[in-house]
Amino acid sequence: MPGLESVSEWTRGYLGGTRDLLIGGEWVPAQSGRRFEVIDPASEDVIANVAEGAAADVDLAVKAARRAFESPAWARMPGAERARLIWALADRLEAEAEKIAELETLDNGMPIGVARGAVVPLSADVFRYMAGWATKLEGRTIPLDVPPQPDAEFFAYTLRQPIGVVGQIVPWNFPLFMTSWKVAPALATGCTIVLKPAEQTPLTALFLGELMTEVGFPDGVINVVPGFGETAGAALADHPDVDKVTFTGSTEVGRQIVRASAGNLKKVALELGGKSPNIVFDDADLPAAIAGSADAVFFNAGQNCVAGARLFVQEGAYDELVAGLAERAAALRVGPGLAPDSEVGPLVSAEQLERVTGYMGAATEEGAKLVAGGGRLGERGFFVEPTILTDVAPDMRFMREEIFGPVVGVTRFTDLDDLVARANDTAFGLAAGIWTRDVSRVHKLAPRLDVGTVWVNTYSLNASALPFGGFKQSGWGKELGEEGVSSYLQTKSVCIGL
């Protein structure tokens, strides 16, 4: 199995080095002196030791971020200069694609081709897109007509100002990409950041911190504090001097963040779980629908918040679609991310392996029928089989809860109203897919799905300009696009009596 010996000398050196916290422009050990192990999910080997931040370190990082927020070097930096730095960072990410890809694959397990060919260019694109906004943060002039004072004249306008110190809590499924969604708009708007990567995947966040220092962001604009959710993450959500916390992760932790944020009523943005319906109509281009539906749930080993985990297929296409999907599942090459031909890597951790295989077992016990996969692959590394279940009922546990693994439940439909009711019968509302050639049907159906994103004849497409975020218990607020930028700004009204 390709492992550490197959990566570059640079990567081995980086992993072997002292990976400390970035606070106020300095690399420092945790106050407690503690460190935690980083595991390669393909080999289960320990590949690095990282300083373990906790409340005391978060406090120092927040102080550094506050100083940076108030410093003339950042607060008075022209938007064009922020844009230049952000653009330079995007260039550095691309220049270091190979290093980033190796770190991301060793840390998260994803195929190196995905890390190199998708994660790096997409992340760089988010930074470039957001760089453009740094010079376009405009308020408005607002004509006022105030009834009790008919003769008075006013001049009123709005200013849009950065929210301040932002705590950013990031998940492990797409470490760098999810980080770029949060860091890029915060920089574009002039906020400062305390970034807490997931304990499973801290490496590319630390490297991003290095690159930001190198391109010339002032000290303290970004602070990177790896650590555990219950300690470092909770301290950030609770901190009285953090103005906003933005979180991507499970719905359960999202609720804890909301509770923790109540002390100083900090602003909260949440991108949470999903159980997304993916809908295939009879008239769809079936080969495309099969490939797309497989990708929708098997990509990144299903560790994807938008995974199309509930597949609804119209009666006439059902048999062909299930057969095609099963063929695709069996053909997918599951293996170590560093092996060039792997299409699906391991799950991120032993904990995830236990969770996902637990759901697989419970599904068949509840009466679902296994059409493909169903369990762990091999004995070393956290690999699981792409799994397809039919004969599923909406109240089965695996059809209601987010699994975060390559598991899809397939069910058939005939009537459109019944389909809509079933698709919406979930606490989540992140995304949905529709496969059809009927344009009119698309426009009628898309508004009826209670989700933040509808993909038609494609799936999982995220673009920097497209707002992303969930309805219902899938989140609060949007990331990316203009709305994503606005979420790091607050509007001030200025009213002048003339």
Residue nearest to ligand ADP (CB): 229
The answer to whether residue 268 forms part of the interface with ligand ADP (CB under 6 A) is: no
All residues at 6 or more sequence positions from 28 whose CB lies less than 8 Å from its CB, including other chains: 20, 21, 51
> One symbol per residue from 175 to 214: x for binding ligand ADP (CB under 6 A), - otherwise; what is it?
---------------------x-xx---------------
Spatial separation of the C-alpha atoms in residues 406 and 410, rounded to whole Å: 13
32 binds ligand ADP (CB under 6 A): no
Question: Judged by CB under 6 A, does residue 31 bind ligand ADP?
Answer: no
Q: Write the single-letter amino acid at 191.
A: C
Q: How many CA atoms lie within 13 A of 346 on its CB side?
A: 31
Answer yes or no whether residue 170 interacts with ligand ADP by CB under 6 A. Answer: yes
Please tell me whether residue 274 binds ligand ADP under the rule CB under 6 A.
no
- Provide the 10 A C-beta neighbour count for residue 222: 27
Please choose, out of 120-128, 252-260, 415-423, 445-453, the segment that lies near ligand ADP by the rule CB under 6 A: 252-260
Running DSSP on this structure, what letter comes out for residue 221?
Answer: S
Rg of the chain (C-alpha set): 24
Maximum Cα interatomic distance, the chain, rounded to a whole number of Å: 82
Dist. CA 143–CA 268, nearest whole Å: 32
Catalytic residue from among 104, 191, 305, 385? 305
| Site size with ligand ADP, rule: CB under 6 A | 17
Give catalytic status of residue 305 as yes or no.
yes
Return the number of the residue (36 or 471) whose C-beta is nearest ligand ADP. 36
Nearer to ligand ADP by C-beta: 257 or 432?
257
Which residue of the set 271, 343, 401, 479 is catalytic? Answer: 271
Q: How far is CA 89 from CA 207, 380, 462, in A?
A: 12, 37, 21
Residue of 86, 90, 115, 253 that binds ligand ADP (CB under 6 A): 253
Per CB under 6 A, 230 contacts ligand ADP: yes
Residue 199 annotated to the active site: no
Is there binding between residue 258 and ligand ADP (CB under 6 A)?
Answer: no
Q: Which residue, 315, 289, 256, is CA-closest to 458?
A: 289
Return the residue matching tokens 């300009």: 465
In angstroms, give the least distance from the CB of 124 to ligand ADP: 23
- The piece of 32-40, 106-114, 209-217, 227-235 that touches ligand ADP (CB under 6 A) is 227-235
- Determine which helix (DSSP H) or strand (DSSP E) holds 211, and give its type and residue range: helix 203-215
In the numeric block, which tokens belong to residue 381?
């590394």
Q: Contacting ligand ADP (CB under 6 A), which of 190, 202, 249, 433? A: 249
Tokens standing for residue 211: 């690159």
Instruction: State which of residues 237, 296, 301, 384 lies at the interface with ligand ADP (CB under 6 A).
Output: 237
Residue with Cβ nearer ligand ADP (100 or 245): 245
Amino acid present at 210: E
Three-state secondary structure string covering 423-448: HCCCCCCCEEEEECCCHHHHHHHHHH
Among all residues, which ones are annotated catalytic? 271, 305
Positions in the binding site for ligand ADP (CB under 6 A)? 169-171, 196, 198-199, 228-230, 233-234, 237, 249-250, 253, 256-257
